[in-house]
Amino acid sequence: MTPTAQAVRERLKLPDPYAGFTAEGYSVDLQGGEDHPWFSGLIAQLRPRVVVEVGSWKGASAIRMASQLRDQQRDAVVICVDTWLGSLEHLTQSVAGWDIRPHLKHGYPALYYQFLANVVHTGCKSYILPIPNVSLTVARWLLKQGLQADLIYLDGSHEEDEVYLDLVSWWKVLRPGGVVFGDDWHAYWYGVICGVNRFAKETGRRIHVHGTKWQMIKEPSSSPLQ
């Protein structure tokens, strides 16, 4: 692991997620993770040491960011927060190709191991630190540990209230001068648009949109709760 990834792992008292894991038997199976210019642009602009992704699925976006950091030889970590149990759309099969059921083993989702295999196969395990837990729980945990993120990518729930709560919680983790950005700014995912707009209106933030991506900047003068 990179020095920063190792330091974060030890600070959180987490075991090495790759110890004893073999990617044999898994092929690379990436899904999603649009090649948007903000992934490389924000990393080049912010030079982040701590990146958080909320909602990782099979790891495509996390691997894209970790690859950028690796290629630039940066000392950084990408913390991936997900339950790997699937969201509402994965359970209802509302979007073709995103059904969680093919990943069930004895009734329990095993998508996490495909995620790990993808990270290993793409040479990004030195950068990516997965934390399998609920978004709000991890946000509170990082706050208690005094950890701040330079860049946060939100791509978890698409429900308005949950998007809003993710923003409220993770905004506190974002350092002043950092950026939170996310996916699915699209009429189909109206809950995302409503949740982001609700947070922006309450906090007086400006939303920047490019294609299906959105972002908000936390000005250096921002107080932790704004």
Given a cut of 50, is residue 40 above it in pLDDT?
yes
The predicted pLDDT at position 103 comes to 80
From the candidate CATH numbers 3.90.245.10, 3.30.60.50, 3.40.50.150, 3.20.20.70, the one assigned to the domain spanning 3-23+34-217 = 3.40.50.150
Kindly write down the DSSP assignment for every residue of 112-171, as one continuous string: HHHHHHHHHHTT-TTTEEEEES-HHHHHHHHHHTT--EEEEEE-S--SHHHHHHHHHHHH
The two three-digit tokens of residue 10, written as one number: 């030890």
Q: Is 46 exposed, middle or buried (0-12, 13-18, 19+ CB in 10 A)?
A: middle
Mean of the pLDDT values across residues 186-190?
92
Longest dimension (CA), the chain: 51
Torsion, Cα of 103, 108, 112, 114 (10° steps)? -30
The tens digit of pLDDT for each residue in 68-110 reads: 999 999 999 999 999 999 777 666 665 666 778 888 889 888 8
The predicted pLDDT at position 95 comes to 61
Mean of the pLDDT values across residues 177-183?
97
Phi/psi for 148 (5° steps) reads: -120, 150
What is the residue whose two structure tokens read 């990408």?
78
Task: Report the DSSP pairing between strands 77-82 and 50-54.
Answer: parallel
Instruction: Give 226's pLDDT tier (boundaries 50, 70, 90).
Output: very low
